[in-house]
Structure 1
Amino acid sequence: MTHVEPIAATRLSAGRAAGDETSLGGFFARLDPDVRSEWAWDNYKPTIEALSRAFGLRRLVEIGGGRDPLFTPDEAAALGIELTINDISQEELDNGPEEFAKARFDIAGDLTDTGVQRGSYDLAFSRMVFEHVKDGRRAWSNLNEILAPGGVAIAFVPTLYALPYVANMAIPEWVSQKIVKMLYPHRTDDEDPKFPAYYDWTFGSEKKLRPMLEEVGFREAVVVPFYYHDYFERIPVVRQIDNLMNRVAAARDWRFLTSYAYIAARK
């Protein structure tokens, strides 16, 4: 792939707050993320660690963490954080590290009888979860409910309108299941299953997301865009065309063609 310059502070729509060290915009401007999705994958854990330190966030919950949370118990202890693992599946939670607290609830559902309390957490984070949520607005509203004042929510998501995700939405689920298993034999139902994706409110554009996030109660929002993906690595001509599209989109900051994003919001 052709080299693309890193994101400058002005590339972040919240860059107007880049000089404010207490803002999310300032945090991500100092983080100086690259536009390539490889950076997003390699640096998500360090980003969560840095957020925790920068804003003094100690009570963390991983939405959809299940059996494979981002941090190990030793890593959480070294960071001085209290980590709760969330999932909608009790089986997934039972297979997770026993050292962590567990919380079974649907982030896009009714939280009334789940036992989770308003203001329970300082930082809620997720990886590749929100694209599987049917009601993204409800999920973000619930995140706001479970966060303490000043708390931060961050979701690492694939974004519309990258070609693979548009195709995934357009074709029947049983067809996409077969395609994924053909291209990625390691994606077994037991180890790494494919779940239906809806991509509700998974955009790389703050212009689209900020009004919704403010409506559900967040006072600050930052969307960090990333380009490129590996879905077409085994399809030569399509791969080359898609890489060209990503190169142009990244250079011109076309948010409607992002492949992934960190969506972060502060209560």
Structure 2
Amino acid sequence: MTDALLQNPSSRTFDIRKIVADLGYPSHWNWCWENYKPTVIELSRARGLRRHLEIGAGRDPLFQPGEAAQLGLDITLNDISAHELSLAPSGYGKVVCDIASPQAPDILGRDKYDLVYCRMVMEHVPNVAAMWRNINAILAPGGVALAFFPTLYAAPYVLNSLMPEKLSRFLLETIFPERKQDGGDPKFPAYYNYCFSSEARMMPMLRQAGFSEAVILPFWGYAYFSKFPGVKQVDAAFNRLAERRDWRSVSSFAYVIATK
């Protein structure tokens, strides 16, 4: 698969592409889940990005305090929910605020962080363009943002966006009981605003947010239909075809790595 750039490759862009290549990026969905943390670590190591902000960290931050200390990282956790953030381990700075709000840059600190990242958060934000603008504002010059999110128009997310929230929650919790509200991975309403791996849809918004360059990595596949024989096989075959042909409009997930 090819990646997309906001402008002609520079040494900094080449660095991002090399980091991803060294991690062995393929476009199958298992890789994006298994290599999210290694990608954050490698970006940090390769570019000396020590001051981190994890957006939407909630109860399940990417790094445990001992890992952060071992890696020499200064990590701040953010979430819109004080309750979710209260369930995170102690040992971090914690900031409760809506990352897309006009006040977020002043609350979190302008030009403060070297690396800002989030996983499975952007689909829950109604105004993702505002979120990217705020991420740019809180990044130090030369800082990097990494966003990992599901993308339209993969079938499960189209269905989720069309269903009433109560119905989609019931179906998800019936098929995957671990996703119940009292479990460790609750479901939240999803909007899928700017959740695309298409350059045509994403690049103008990233430019307007103030980023100088970006790499988009698409992925295909998921496990949502794993308990439906027949449907599972047909859907998997379609995703393999879409992956081979680089059909971004039906990708399942994406990494966006953007530099201020």
Q: TM-score range by the shorter chain?
A: over 0.9
For residue 248 of structure 1, give the secondary structure of its aligned residue in structure 2. Answer: helix
Q: Is the 8 A contact 2:133 2:209 kept in 1?
A: yes
Q: How do 1:74-113 residues align onto structure 2 when only pairs under 5 Å count?
A: 74-111=66-103
Choose from 155, 171, 177 the match for 1:163.
155
Q: How does 1:17-36 map to 2 (within 5 A)?
A: 17=9, 23-36=15-28
- Residue 43 of structure 1 is matched in structure 2 by 35
Matched, 1:228 2:221: yes
Instruction: Give, as a single letter, the amino acid of the residue that structure 2 aligns with 1:17.
Output: P
Aligned-residue offset at 1:226: 0.6
Cα offset, 1:254, TM superposition: 0.9
Tell whether 2:118 aligns with 1:126. yes
Report which stretch shifted further, 90-99 or 54-63: 90-99
- Residues 16 and 234 of structure 1: CA distance in aligned 2, closer, same or farther (over 3 Å): farther
Corresponding residue of 1:147: 139
The percentage of counterpart residues that share the same residue type is 47
User: Aligned letter for 2:135?
Assistant: L
Say which of 193, 210, 233 aligns to 2:203. 210
SS in structure 1 opposite 2:256?
strand
CA distance in 1 between counterparts of 2:94 and 2:219 reads 31
Distance in structure 2 (CA, Å) of the matches to 1:213 and 1:33: 23
Which residue type is aligned with residue 12 of structure 1? D
Deviation per residue, 1:184-215 (Å, 9 max, x gap): 11112122211110000011122321111011
**Cα distance change, pair 48–63 in 1 and its aligned pair in 2 (3 A):** same
Partner deviation per Cα, 1:239-265 (whole Å, 9 max, x = no partner) = 111111101110011111110111111
After superposition, the C-alpha distances for 1:73-117 in whole angstroms (9 at most, x for unaligned) are 111111111000101111222221110110111111122696321
Q: Is the 8 A contact 2:20 2:39 kept in 1?
A: no
Per-residue CA deviation, residues 100-155 of structure 1 (Å, 9 max, x unaligned), is 11011111112269632111111111110000000010010110011111111111
CA distance in 2 between counterparts of 1:178 and 1:112 reads: 33
Show structure 1 runs of 5+ residues with no match: 1-6
Contact 2:13 2:214 in 1 (8 A): no
Aligned counterparts, 1:53-92, within 5 A: 53-92=45-84
Q: Distance in 2 between matches of 1:83 and 1:133?
A: 22
Give the aligned partner of residue 241 of structure 2.
Answer: 248
- What is the DSSP-based 3-state SS (H/G/I as helix, E as strand, rest coil) of the residue aligned with 2:98? coil
Deviates more, 1:23-32 or 1:133-142: 23-32
SS at match of 2:53: strand
Give the 3-state SS of the residue equivalent to 2:107 in structure 1: coil
Q: How many residues align?
A: 258
Distance 1:21 1:107 in 2: 26
Of residues 143, 161, 173, the one that matches 2:165 is 173
Query: Which SS does the other structure have where 1:263 is aligned?
Result: strand
Unaligned runs of 5+ in 2: none
Is 1:266 the counterpart of 2:254? The answer is no
Amino acid at match of 2:207: E
Q: Is the 8 A contact 2:97 2:104 kept in 1?
A: no
Q: Return the alpha-carbon distance in structure 1 between the equivalents of residues 108 and 116 of structure 2.
A: 13
Aligned CA-pair RMSD:
1.9
